[in-house]
Structure 1
Amino acid sequence: MTTAPELTLSAHAMPSVNRLAGPLVRDIIARASSLRLHISQDESGVTLVDAGIACEGGVEAGLAIAEICMAGLGRVQLSAHPREGWPRWVEVSSSQPVLACLGSQYAGWSLSASKEETQGKSFFALGSGPARALAVKEELYGELGYRDTAGEGVLVLEADRLPPRPVLNKVLNDCGLTARNLTVIVTPTRSSAGTTQVVARVLEVALHKAHEIGFDLRYIVDGSACAPLPAPADDGLEAMGRTNDAILYGGSVHLSVRGSDEEAERLARELPSGTSRDYGKSFKALFEAAGYDFYKLDGALFAPAEVWVSNLDTGRTWHRGATDLGFLRGLWVTE
């Protein structure tokens, strides 16, 4: 049996997620017109990419932004081959899933500004993408043993308006960047680009739950996943519900791991969303019942519906959970 590597995600052993993402960022800026994005700069020189606030955005933009979130360490593509009664699926794969998903893509940086700070409306958004690894504000980076030191950075915000100056100042300060070396991409979930890039987190959601249930991340070697892509909803709460439901009831993930069969089987058994007491209701209904408080929801719910785990050391594979496209069609399809 192969033993786990002694190194965690050391910056000496792993590449810079921000340098890897740089060419992808420059590419979407160069293709902004065809991707239906709007590019601007604030007064300090920070580049702002609007992916659905005052512009149309689109699925192709969402796929490109999802790959930026993964620092180019994963492939994200659209499958228009109908299956299980749904026409479009987002497919994600990575041979560096821990770094791509948790070290970069995970939306773990909470950014806010009060009405007093903005002299108007308060602002809150979760930051994801490579710039998180520059700021390292999350305990997760201590566990991963990773920190990026690049002189450029890109952050993706799930928000319905561009970030105010106090938030940009915080990002610049925490990341140690000059304004001209920071790009912030804003994707409202109610846009096509926003819906797409959230559903493209199906593999990341699996990695996050694997971490939550105590599986040693060093043993996760490879990962692939898919989830159905719903139409975006104009209402923010409905849009958030659809993207979560796509993963919780339609997401399927395959993880290749090393180590013991006991741990591989445990991962397959404990990972699916069906292990949660909240499983079986739409995310919107659960969120409303919880008084719009995420912390009142069962954390076990946040996982793909179906899981395959293959142990590369023994050649054995486990399959647990199942997708429920009938449930999703009941939520998404107008008869």
Structure 2
Amino acid sequence: MSMSEHPAALAGCNLSLNAHVQPWVDRLVAEADALRVQVRRDESGARIVDAGIAAPGSVAAGLLVGEICLGGFGSVALKTAATDGWPSWLEVASSQPVLACLASQYAGWSLAASKEETGGKKFFSLGSGPARALAAKEKLYAELGWRDRAERGVIVLEVDRAPPPVVVQKILRDCGLPPEGLTIVLTPTSSAAGTTQVVARVLEVALHKTHELGFRLDHVVDGVATAPLPAPSPNGVEAMGRTNDAILYGGRVHLSVRGSDEAARQLAAQLPSRNSKDYGRSFAEIFKAVEYDFYKIDPALFAPAEVWVSNLDSGSSFHGGALNMELLRGLWLKEA
């Protein structure tokens, strides 16, 4: 059976990402001062939450934004222990991993505007979070056999400036939302919240790679993952490099699946990042070497470092990959 012949993983799903996540969004707004974020309405009436541009933001805001990206169908927690030689780790878990990670958290919605459209500087961002599933512009939603319906929506943009009106209007139009029903969360990667919410994608990176490898998504039952949380870098490319490295070299994922032991064993062997020809160098170095063209990077690199796969049908578990904390400590740590 080919991947296209597999049952759609979310066919028949009657859960709503955007309706379910609203208490998390309301908390982000209600606790704005404590989380060091700023909330305003733009000229259209859409709500903008600045979590790291003019506002300082915080790790706590990043944890909450991480859970918002998961549609509230997953948890993101900070663990403070010097495990494997690094003090701060994120732990992500979801019992709805396909819905939370692929249908929601994955940054797959291209939102761009030309200089002519903005009246100044061109704009580009990849939208992530629940509102993606209202627009359902990506072919992924046809493969999942599902899209969301709700009267309110939230989207997260990893940007260092607010989206221009033309992009806000596109989001409203494609999601079928009134302006007062839309919340846009802005988290530059160079901020504490931005770094945190990107590293919180460690489970999603594993789910995306699992899908790319052709494993049946309807056989993915549960997921738990951890990754080290680096300090944010004020340099945008370096900040992006650190968050990617945290997952590629420090990400650990445990997937619970159904199906055959052979499929589970193959997934554990093929999923880790060390299968990539680009493995072993910092992401910032790799990105620079391909002249900042994301699409020239070996896709196999975008994966966690270490993987366990447990087959619930047989009780067998399989392991592949390994952490490379020596590389991360060399990149991130300056000895006192």
TM-score of the superposed pair, with normalisation by structure 2: 0.97
Q: Compute the displacement of 1:81 (Å).
A: 1.5
Q: Which amino acid aligns with 1:263?
A: A
**Cα distance in 2 for residues equivalent to 1:139 and 1:277:** 28
1:8 and 2:29 matched: no
Shift of 1:8: 3.1
Gaps of 5+ in 2: 1-5
Residue aligning to 2:286: 286
What amino acid maps onto 2:10 in structure 1?
A: L
Mapping for residues 72-111 of structure 1, pairs under 5 Å = 72-111=72-111
Q: Structure 1: which 5+ runs fail to align?
A: none
Deviations along 1:95-140, one digit per CA (max 9) or x if unpaired, are 0000000010000001011111111111111100000000001000
Partner of 1:264: 264
> Which has the larger displacement, 194-203 or 106-115?
106-115
Equivalent residue for 2:215? 215
Moved over 6 A (4+): none
What secondary structure is seen at the aligned counterpart in 2 of 1:84? helix
What does the per-residue CA deviation read over 1:71-101, in whole Å, with 9 as the maximum and x for residues that have no partner?
A: 1100100000110110000000000000000
- Equivalence map 1:119-134=2 (5 Å): 119-134=119-134
Structure 1 counterpart of 2:241: 241
8 Å Cα contact 2:8-2:143 kept in structure 1: no
- Structure 2 match to 1:172: 172
Structure-2 separation of matches of 1:68 and 1:14: 19
State the distance in 2 between where 1:6 and 1:268 align: 22
1:205 match: secondary structure: helix
Q: Distance in 2 between matches of 1:61 and 1:95?
A: 23
Distance 1:204 1:6 in 2: 21
Aligned position for 1:34: 34
- Equivalent residue, structure 1, for 2:329: 329
Partner of 1:145: 145
Percent identical pairs in the alignment equals 63
Q: Does 1:64 align with 2:82?
A: no
Q: Give deviations 1:201-245, integer Å, cap 9, x for gaps.
A: 000000000000100000000000000000000000000000000
Distance in 1 between residues matched to 2:141 and 2:40, nearest whole Å: 31
1:288-321 deviation digits (Å, cap 9, x = unpaired): 0001011111000000000000000101001110
Aligned residue type for 2:274: G
2:3 aligned partner: none
Aligned counterpart, 1:224:
224
Number of residue pairs matched by the alignment: 331
Counterparts of 1:9 and 1:139, CA distance in 2: 14
1:214 & 1:6 partners in 2: Cα distance? 13
Matched, 1:255 2:259: no
Does structure 1 retain, via aligned residues, the 8 Å contact 2:89–2:228?
A: yes
TM-superposed CA distance for 1:179, in Å, is 0.3
Q: Give SS of 1:15's match.
A: coil
**If the length of structure 1 is used for normalisation, what is the TM-score?**
0.97
Tell whether 2:184 aligns with 1:184: yes
Q: 2:13, 2:146 within 8 Å by CA — same for their partners in 1?
A: no
Deviations along 1:146-192, one digit per CA (max 9) or x if unpaired, are 10011110000000011110000000010011100000000000000
Give the distance between the partners of 1:158 and 1:333, measured in 2 at CA: 25
CA distance 1:7–1:324, change in 2 (3 Å): closer
Kindly indicate whether residue 312 of structure 2 is the aligned counterpart of residue 312 of structure 1.
Answer: yes
Give the aligned partner of residue 199 of structure 1: 199
Q: Distance in 2 between matches of 1:97 and 1:14?
A: 15
Give the secondary-structure state (helix, strand or coil) at the position aligned to 2:21. Answer: helix
Deviations 1:254-301 (A, max 9, x none): 000000001001100100000000000000000000010111110000
Deviations 1:14-50 (A, max 9, x none): 3100001111101110000000000000111100000
